[in-house]
Structure 1
């Protein structure tokens, strides 16, 4: 495509990781940066988002899911299963991911991903800014960044039931996503290891 060589953008954002890889080449390599959120928190939030914004809406109504409890949703194994491992390894349709997929996901992260943690937004955005030389003297830009970092996320979905570590909901979700749970722990390790790159 020649996208990278044309210097038309500093950042390409895509949810299609493997499909967007051909945009780059050996002379203009892409670098993945991402904000990791704890898998259980992410899936609880995704459930409530989908229930409120998709399954209960008239145009996308789903009678089975519109009023299902979050616990029953995960008891029936209707939630995502190791989504981050699947995404990184391009195994979205594989019935079950395994230890080899997990190891490959870790290696991809180690080699390709600048890790940010939603639990440490300030430090994560500071690293992204430094890595990609994003800075601005425009007060409006700086105010916008401060709002995103310091204020609550405005799109956070209200949760009727929280998944607290050790409770039944937590155990259901984490049990169905053991590789994503391990990958998140590895992301925290990488976050600490990458700290030296920004000192």
Structure 2
């Protein structure tokens, strides 16, 4: 644990992976920048149609409409909820959503990506 004490800032998309860095004596503050979930899904759809260099590239998406994508099993629903409650493969429940909201409320300073400048001011 002592090797983590020198880190002033840690940037990660996987909060659980950084958990061992924090203890009662070595606490951290969590900041998160969230995107609107519908905008994230729309962007994911178009990105995965063309990102041939990514493992998530799916050439079949080029023949799908956005509506078909949203109804398909190719969409990762509730990405933020799944990340916060460590639920990757099973269905997300209302209790999971409530727990994720509570985690965000108690543990994070939340910024909104569409309001980036205002969020940065909030973080300061």
TM-score, normalization by structure 1: 0.56
**RMSD of aligned alpha carbons:** 2.1
1:19-68 Cα offsets, whole Å, 9 max, x none, are: 211012111212221111110001101111111113xx6x9864433432
Query: Residue 178 of structure 1 aligns with which residue?
Result: none
Query: Residue 126 of structure 1 aligns with which residue?
Result: 121
Between the aligned partners of 2:56 and 2:103, the Cα distance in structure 1 is: 36
Correspondence 1:9-28 to 2 at 5 A: 9-28=7-26
Unaligned runs of 5+ in 2: none
SS of 1:114's partner is: strand
Aligned length: 123
SS of 2:2's partner is: coil
Unaligned runs of 5+ in 1: 131-199
SS of 1:26's partner is: coil
TM-score, normalization by structure 2: 0.85
Which structure has the larger Rg over C-alpha atoms? 1
